[in-house]
Every structure is written in structure tokens, then in C-alpha cells.
Amino acid sequence: MLASPSLVTRPIATTCRPRSLVRSVARRDRRRAAVLGVTSVAIAAWIANACLPDLAVYPPASVGDGGVVIGSSARCGDGIVQTTDARFEQCDEGEAGKLPGCASCRLDCSEDGGHIEDRTGHCYFPAGATSTYAEARAACEQRGAHVVTLGGADELEFVTSSLGARVDAYWTGLLVSTALGGYEAANPEEPGWPYPPLLTTRACPGCYAPVRPTNEAGTFPSWSSDGGALEFCIAGFTTRADAGWLTVPCVRGDAGALGVVCEREPPGARTEDCLGGSCLRVVETLARKRYLLADQPVLPEDAPRACTQLGGRLVVFTSTREREQVTRELGRRLLSLGQKKVTFFIGLSRTAGKPWLWEDGADESAHPPVWGESAPGVPPVPDRAGRAFLVLGLALYDTALARADQGTEPPTDARKGVLCEFPL
């Protein structure tokens, strides 16, 4: 039965509501929808649609005693990074007070030798040298940061050019985790790297590390001459960035200390509860897009319609930065709600025997790779139709990367949320 147009399209709220109220309204109108015979996709669309007008225009900002105030309730110190006005916040330390990296909702990277990457707001700074990875991790954590994790060649270039005069060989934020079956990133919101000897069957196209092109299966050579026994950590170099990373023992002993480079993301959240799920905007696409993670599960074939009924489409990640920033915000939000794992469809799919295409019509290769270890094309279903979905979870070394639903999952696992994007 067709959904009622009035129920699907009319917004019922002018502000995003607390999650308790969201659930109450959703339950009430699901009962109403059941009486009218509305489809589950339409219910999800209507619930999500109720919050979208709030993302388009916020009330103008004013200056009060508490700093920049946007509208009547948002303020510096509420934990939400406001980015919709000319006087937008760069970060927000929350009600608890000043956090490392944020002061009065402005970025603070005042550590000696610190540098801020303008497009992300990440702060990078040297923190001496240590002979163990554990000491490096502690040195960064004391400053509200983590051992540097590098998601792409542009980030590597920034660290190399900014800190090269002070640091040569340094610890990278990758550590072997036997539980995860790969190198775990120091920031658990980011993907790590596959670990041998499974690399020959478990490629991870969306993972990043500067490996030497001649290395078989993307492995890291050993820095030492003993074959790399028990070398579960990785060293990077600012003066030899093109040489690739090398494995090192996590406790170096007489081999000498390595430099410590710390990385700190801007404090504060850019995601808020809205009717239907979580609404957000990120720095990389601030002037172009807004996003909605709709938490009403749908089948793969219904995923595009769940977004198009709202005037949007399934998300298309046009840069690595965009994917990292969106998944970081969603990961933080879901973790704060006690969810250990969430899956949602994105705008990458294929029909049987055809190439994978993004929702904007571009070939898969036109945008940066998003696949984790379960990339398509692996037997037994290399040529079946499918839709990509992203996985966020703490127990995955390839978290925040995509997998392929090619019709092989049980019906109970086939339904997932959808991540929609909307142009500004």
C-alpha cells in the first residue's frame, strides 16, 4: 500500500528534540502509520524529514556573557560545535570547563612546536622521545591527544613538512592487535592496517600506510637485521617519508628512543539527536552538505528511496577527509549512547555484472577507496549485485570502512540504517 504523502512530507518539528521525546513521538506515529498502512521506508523517511529543516537555517548569532550564542539556547560551553554562523566555533570544551586543545571555543595548539592543519583543525606537536610505545602513548594522553595516526598522503605530508625539523624517526599510532587481526589505530575511530600472514587474502583498500611499492602484499620491512621478530610497532620518518614505514619492537631497549608525535582532534561534538536519527555537519563539506544517519533499518533495495523521499541521496564520499570526519563524529556519538557497533548503507552499489557506481553516477575509482577487508570481488560472489555499507565498531581494525552486501546475508542482518546527504 502506498504511503500517505501528507504523513511522509510534512515536518512536525522546528527544532531537534531530546532522544526521549524523539522515541515517544516515533512510537506514537508508527502506531498511526500502521493504521494507515504506511510502509516502513516511508515511516523512516517521515521521521527523518522532521529534523531536516532545522539543519538548513539557524537563528542569527549574538554575543552574550557566555560567549558566542546561536539562537536562544546554544552557547559556547554546551559541548556542541556550532558552525552555522559567521562567528562559528572551532571547538567546544563542554560544561566541565577547559579541555586540552580548546579555550573559549577556539582551537589551542600552543604546545612547543605545535601546528594546526586548517582543513581539519587537528593539532600535531612533538612530545620528546621515548624508548617504548607505551611511554609514547602516555606522553600524548597526558596532553589530551594520541600517538599520530595518518589517514592519507596529504596528512603525512603535513606532518613531515611541519615537524621534520624537530623529529626524524617517530612512533606511529599502529599497534598489532591479535584480537582484531590487524594493526589497531591509536585513535579507535580510525581504521588501522592488515597484519601478516593474512595480507594475501585480506586486502584493505581503504586503509592507509606508506608502504614501499616493491613490498609483497603491502607488508612493512623490518628496521632491524634479525628479521623483525616480535616487532609489533611501526616507525615513520620525516626525512625519509618516501622510504615507507618500518616495523620495530614496541620496547626498543638499546636500539634507542624514537620521537613522539601527538595528534589531537578538536574537542566537541558536531552531531545532534534529531527525529529519525543523528544529524551533523563537518568541516570538510561545511558549505556544501549536511548529513542524516537514519536509525530506522531498511533493506538494501529500499535504501536509496529512504533518502530520496527526503530530498537527499545516499552519501557519496568525495574525499578521504570527508569520510574520516563524518565517521569520526558518528562514532563518537554512537559510543556516547553505548552502541558498540552500527552499520548503514552508503551511496555505492552495482547491478549484476556491472561496475560499482556512486550515487552521483561516478565510477567507484573516481572517489577515494572506501572498502575495508571485505571488499567485493572476493569469491564466491564476485559478479553479483550489491550495495556497500559502512561499519563503525570498536572491535574492528577496519572500522569506518565499507563492506559489500551482495545478497548473502541472513534476512535478519540485511536491514541496516542509511546515511543520507543533503546539499546546502
pLDDT tens string for the chain (424 positions)? 333 222 222 232 333 444 444 444 444 444 433 333 334 444 444 444 444 434 433 223 333 333 333 333 567 888 888 876 545 788 998 876 678 999 889 999 999 999 999 889 999 999 999 999 999 999 999 999 999 999 998 999 999 999 888 888 999 999 999 888 889 999 988 999 988 755 555 578 899 988 765 555 567 888 875 555 578 899 998 876 556 788 899 998 878 899 999 999 999 888 888 877 889 999 899 889 999 999 789 999 999 999 999 889 999 999 999 999 999 999 888 777 788 788 999 999 998 888 899 999 999 999 999 998 877 755 445 567 889 999 998 788 999 999 887 665 555 578 999 999 999 8
Where exactly are the structural domains of the chain? Answer: 115-264, 270-423
Amino acid at 313: R
Task: Give me the residue label for grid cell 626498543.
Answer: 252
Sign for the pseudo-dihedral over CA of 276, 367, 122, 130: positive
Task: From the options 1.10.287.3510, 2.160.10.10, 3.10.100.10, 3.30.360.10, give the CATH code of 115-264.
Answer: 3.10.100.10
Q: Whose CA is closest to 311, among 17, 2, 1, 49?
A: 49
HSE at residue 318, side-chain half, CA atoms within 13 A, is 9
Amino acid at 193: W
Helix or strand holding residue 32 (H, E): helix 19-36
Q: In sequence order, what are the beta bridge partners of 146?
A: 263
Task: Give me the residue label for grid cell 577515494.
Answer: 368
CATH superfamily, domain at 270-423: Mannose-Binding Protein A, subunit A (3.10.100.10)
Q: Whose CA is closest to 397, among 134, 239, 177, 137?
A: 177
pLDDT for the residue numbered 156: 92
pLDDT for the residue numbered 213: 54
pLDDT for the residue numbered 212: 66
Q: Are the C-beta atoms of 408 and 271 separated by less than 8 Å?
A: no
Q: Whose CA is closest to 146, among 113, 165, 122?
A: 122
Helix or strand holding residue 20 (H, E): helix 19-36
pLDDT for the residue numbered 71: 37
pLDDT for the residue numbered 411: 57
Distance of alpha carbon 374 from alpha carbon 115, whole angstroms:
36
